[in-house]
Structure 1
């Protein structure tokens, strides 16, 4: 018995009127309602061609480039895997996973745009961080619950609730509760002590209105494949769904995800790759025993137990127990669609999100630091005894997590008016209100150098009574600020059919209004992100309002401040589809993208001569994206190809700092590289050769060119003009074969080739290409055990054990270069870039059943 049932769909008309068969991959309920086909227009096993071949490709009909996958394909992948990795076969997208099971995050590139510039939504709810727009791929929905996932390459939907989608959108939707009661159980065991269990219970229809619901939970735990430490993930989900008839419905869903992860040491250069030797985090670290009257320095005298078991003296900064990434994230999502009249529909998508997370941290501080004793230069023998030895002459290590706590409220609503069968108008409104609290409440360690709480001294989450208190009762903070990121957006869209449904036109625009409220509670170094959180009294106040402290010399500090910045634009989004004959369509689209400055980027003010504060350095990024494509849909064949061009202005590059000794470790550091021109081709094809054999292939070409040199000073420039974007492969190829070998046994083999990638803006270092192949096999056990949907599945990722570097910590230059554009020579030293080691061959076996 084949448990992967293929469902072939076809429309009775060329495209079923103005509505698209691929609508479920859209972002909001309003967009789905605008695009979807009415039920009466759909037949099963028709002769117009399949809507999907084994779930790897879906027949899209919208006037933009989009690729989608379904649960049929998702279920073949490693249980618990992040949906971003599962999407990695689609054209235009390149995802580099940080470990074999997906719980350690990864890096997204979509047509050359990094994840901070790609909108990720979950049932229409925006997931990008409100502070830096980052995507946290390890915090996504359990794959068993994902009905469908899609990628809009380069464009957004007209009502997209995003502040950052200059590069496109990625969206996935939750499956509905089942109409029959039942339980689904999946368990898995794999290499690196991998263990996972997933349990889902469906109520079936109950009550007088046929309400349905499900609840689910999962638990995952495994060791890092490289170095000491482990990763643990717990997730809970629930959904309540009410069919109201005539296409009306209401839905309420809940999601909670808890991660407790140790970071990998990703400080690996090309030389490490060539030699096969890679850095690891320390197994243990023992700080010196406090002794009264003698100096202990935990930054230089701690005993380290290295990954190979050898000993070294130094700091505990590389101890794996401090290189952690705890997160607690959740959301509540509502979806509502109701026909007010026969031709007027209201949709509403309210949401609430909660985030508590940090990236660990270790800092040493002197017991006579002025932030503790407020002594103004440490005169008079003041200080605070931090290690309890009775003196104040030591340097002590403390746990300094950068906590981020977010409460985010959202609503997207649409009014959809069907003027007649061929013309539709939609008006949409979006509000996205994020309260973003960023703190760094330091605490002490346990005797074995573990944090007393992963959240330090965070109120309500950590150990507040073990904060590092100063003489005046204040406590040491590495940062302390509060931000509000607000988006108000209106959108209009017209969809029309012409020439007997041969031509469909979409004309839309959205007008976002962004507001960023900044509240900095620490002193800020002028023109820098460096802060000094202190209650000490400044020794002087300058004429421009800046202050200085006795312990920091002439460094100027801006006193705590509040500021509000606003941005707005009008962003057109238009497209056309032409269907010259049955099964063929030509489309073209244009969309303008806009990325408001990241909230985190704005905390770098400069004091002006008049005493005010300037935040002018960070400007919005914009894109103008054009696509033209062709689609074919035949009885057993789906194919699409698109050529595209993007003009990208005022681009800012953010790269992850992976050096544990840096104060910016695990944070993004901004570098501006000006305008970029990009063009390329994305293509994919799915072919059901027989009832038991299916093929999928995709290919992408990306040509990018930076238009300007980067100014380093008034007379020196980084020679970036004419260079290509970092971490962006020119070519990618992917493919998959599905074979139903017997009625019970199905086999799959897939592979992806990623071309060379530049690691620096001047393209003076190249990370080599790689190919990773995965294998999966499932055997149906329904008849064997007489249990519905029982199966055993084997997944082997990176089956040929390719060794490669995945995520790249990009930079300006890797070698020494001349940065003087004139006849003179001004050398700029370079630094070889680093990357994360790709996961080795990994096998996991899972058992699933329904009852």
Structure 2
């Protein structure tokens, strides 16, 4: 069973909410002035701020976040930024999505929430639907090319995304919001703030969101809780927070380009429950064909539960010296993907654990039965960042360390399903409902434990050479040690115990500079080196030639594949920022050189995909960002991106010939080809008009053609989507303030378009035609969607 329960959080939430409501009653209705548009609109519809950091950086402010649909995930909120190629599986964002920046996939970038890293500790994946409620998010910042010197990452060869939560309000209030829309979309949000009570202030919130899938059967069902507190006493400031999320989503089916043409744009998983064969004692029932057909939607689930605890102690040791200690703890539990498969029963001492027990209850172990089997992951991840800053003459020194130890358990248990579609335990957390072997041990399709110890030490100096020129040299040392334990399991290549240890580390220098020519014009340039370690999957499935005696592995070979090298990238940004009384903007040129870029390749000997180094790669391009301040109620924002991302080597690939069953090697012509899912051109435009209580906002995003294979022999067309947002602030009453009615309309023109199932890093199909070809899988863009919400403060 999962060790975490919601009881403690629920009690804390109720207590804090009650306290906040009492204080709100004491304070009456005077809770401060709140506007629809917000301060960020003075700097370009909430999408552009005055920036002086000497590197490419973009920011989404609270003003923009308040305009979009409250259920939106961070990938959607960032979609108009330069360099960003993002999409979500539906309009609400509750099902998740994909993000690439300058060709960097989200698992090649560092993601933090309130300073704590949230990339998966095993393969650095990012799941945006799990993290935040937009009502409690104050800012999302993006450095497109390189992570910061002090960033707590060992998996970021690209930039960094920082998500910062709003702290507690100084004045007590209770905020409530109700939303409804297409596809039975409904959402409830409630937040209570205590206001400043002596040296303390705190808040707690809860939201509940549901929506049906736009194609096929199924839905998303999400509950989210946030809470935070601050305490300040003299030169010491303490803060703590929790973000909790629990969701059960049905997945969307991906289709190949050919399937889109034959099955249709809205084809999805099956709606008819697959039926078991009638059990007959002494006769083998084989349901493998039934299980391998189009999966039933109810067996394509993503149940997940996670929470993030963050804290901070910020101590002003002297007028020029500050100490920051920021511990965190991440917990995650869940499964995902298509869990419909089949498992063969068995018996005998030459099978692991004596073989799998009778599944269908017919008294024999001769059958292959359809089951629900999920790739289950449970992570316990404590860590801490310690920073010391000191001012001295024209120097601002920053130094510190980061440490974490992630215990990452990955298993693959299975449970039974019946002819009505019921799953014995969809969370795979009830031992009594899971399949077992003859010796009583649990059946596992994989059984891994990875202890990943990450650490870094960093030092940076911000030097104000004079009133115009700033130079920031920095260096960090980052390291990760993976201790991988495979416990004998029923999966391919996992049939015996073994332990492997790998360590990856790199010294990462950086140098950034800016020059303020005039108060209106600044030039900047920066160069930095980044590191991405291989994922822990590279260490799995290494057992060959295993022989079992009395149900236990007796002889076997641990055949370790060629060790994957860590991926490094050297990133160069060079650009200029300018501002006039009406317009602000920036122009940035970038160049990135990858070494040993990590990809995913097929190993025909072990019949699986594993990490490989695909060689060197180059990215270069130009980004433009412009925004206006309001003029007669009108304001605008625009961004443009041009990217050339090429593979610099041909790739040696292989496959198993379907006739001869022999391994065939060939060289794929990938050199000089555009990297998949990296559009050469993107452009975004947002136009806004605001007058008094009314705000109207229209935004559009163009994304050019993208290739779906590494040889560029298949592509999907460009597309443009348009969204419309409106808000009306109603007059205050004796009981309510800041009552806002919002309208959000996504994909206004109901555009149909295709999206690459980009996976992670360089995990792409090599070629779609010719020898060794396979067809890339694609998502379909979500249709028009409309929702309304009503928010008020008490």
The alignment's TM-score, normalised by the length of structure 1, stands at 0.82
User: How does 1:767-846 map onto structure 2 within 5 Å?
Assistant: 767-783=716-732, 787-808=736-757, 811-817=764-770, 828-846=771-789
**CA distance in structure 1 between the partners assigned to 2:356 and 2:670 by the alignment:** 50
Indicate conservation of the 8 Å contact 1:435/1:485, yes or no.
Answer: yes
**Counterpart of 1:374?**
349
**CA distance in structure 2 between the partners assigned to 1:109 and 1:279 by the alignment:** 26
Deviates more, 1:279-288 or 1:425-434: 279-288
**Counterpart of 1:505?**
471
**Counterpart of 2:400?**
428
User: How does 1:108-507 map onto structure 2 within 5 Å?
Assistant: 108-206=99-197, 208-209=198-199, 211-245=200-234, 248-269=236-257, 272=260, 276-285=264-273, 286-300=275-289, 318-359=295-336, 361-367=339-345, 369-370=346-347, 373-375=348-350, 384-420=357-393, 422-456=394-428, 462-499=429-466, 501-507=467-473
**Counterpart of 2:586?**
640
* TM superposition shift of 1:176: 1.0
Indicate conservation of the 8 Å contact 2:353/2:441, yes or no.
Answer: no
**CA distance in structure 1 between the partners assigned to 2:473 and 2:350 by the alignment:** 65
Indicate conservation of the 8 Å contact 1:440/1:478, yes or no.
Answer: yes
* TM superposition shift of 1:383: 7.8
**CA distance in structure 2 between the partners assigned to 1:640 and 1:453 by the alignment:** 53
**Counterpart of 2:647?**
706
Indicate conservation of the 8 Å contact 1:153/1:169, yes or no.
Answer: yes
**Counterpart of 1:305?**
none
**CA distance in structure 2 between the partners assigned to 1:719 and 1:712 by the alignment:** 10
For structure 2, which runs of at least 5 residues remain unmatched after alignment?
A: 1-32, 546-555, 655-663
Indicate conservation of the 8 Å contact 1:334/1:351, yes or no.
Answer: yes
1:805-849: CA deviations, max 9, x gaps?
Answer: 1233574444434xxxxxxxxxx1423322101110000011111
**Counterpart of 1:598?**
535
**Counterpart of 2:27?**
none
* TM superposition shift of 1:786: 6.5
Indicate which of 36, 41, 44 corresponds to 1:53: 44
The secondary structure found in structure 2 opposite 1:789 is strand
Measured at CA, do residues 718 and 224 of structure 1 come closer, stay the same or move farther in structure 2, by a change above 3 Å? same
Indicate conservation of the 8 Å contact 1:479/1:531, yes or no.
Answer: no
The secondary structure found in structure 2 opposite 1:579 is strand
Alignment RMSD (CA, Å): 2.7
**Counterpart of 1:578?**
515
**CA distance in structure 1 between the partners assigned to 2:527 and 2:112 by the alignment:** 21
Measured at CA, do residues 316 and 181 of structure 1 come closer, stay the same or move farther in structure 2, by a change above 3 Å? farther
1:540-593: CA deviations, max 9, x gaps?
Answer: xxxxxxxxxxxxxxxxxxx31112211211101210010011121000001101
The secondary structure found in structure 2 opposite 1:104 is coil
Indicate which of 48, 65, 75 corresponds to 1:74: 65
**CA distance in structure 1 between the partners assigned to 2:397 and 2:729 by the alignment:** 48
**Counterpart of 2:660?**
none
Indicate conservation of the 8 Å contact 2:149/2:476, yes or no.
Answer: yes
The yes-or-no answer on 1:726 pairing with 2:667 is no
**Counterpart of 2:21?**
none
Measured at CA, do residues 684 and 270 of structure 1 come closer, stay the same or move farther in structure 2, by a change above 3 Å? farther
**CA distance in structure 2 between the partners assigned to 1:216 and 1:153 by the alignment:** 32
Q: How many pairs are equivalent? A: 734
Measured at CA, do residues 112 and 378 of structure 1 come closer, stay the same or move farther in structure 2, by a change above 3 Å? closer
Indicate which of 562, 565, 568 corresponds to 1:619: 565
Measured at CA, do residues 130 and 236 of structure 1 come closer, stay the same or move farther in structure 2, by a change above 3 Å? same
**CA distance in structure 2 between the partners assigned to 1:151 and 1:415 by the alignment:** 24
The alignment's TM-score, normalised by the length of structure 2, stands at 0.88
**CA distance in structure 2 between the partners assigned to 1:240 and 1:84 by the alignment:** 27
The secondary structure found in structure 2 opposite 1:721 is coil
Indicate conservation of the 8 Å contact 1:399/1:445, yes or no.
Answer: yes
**CA distance in structure 2 between the partners assigned to 1:755 and 1:671 by the alignment:** 29
* TM superposition shift of 1:272: 1.5
**CA distance in structure 2 between the partners assigned to 1:178 and 1:291 by the alignment:** 67
Measured at CA, do residues 780 and 689 of structure 1 come closer, stay the same or move farther in structure 2, by a change above 3 Å? closer
Indicate conservation of the 8 Å contact 1:156/1:169, yes or no.
Answer: yes
The secondary structure found in structure 1 opposite 2:78 is helix
Deviates more, 1:629-638 or 1:808-817: 808-817
Indicate which of 505, 508, 531 corresponds to 2:493: 531
**Counterpart of 1:19?**
none
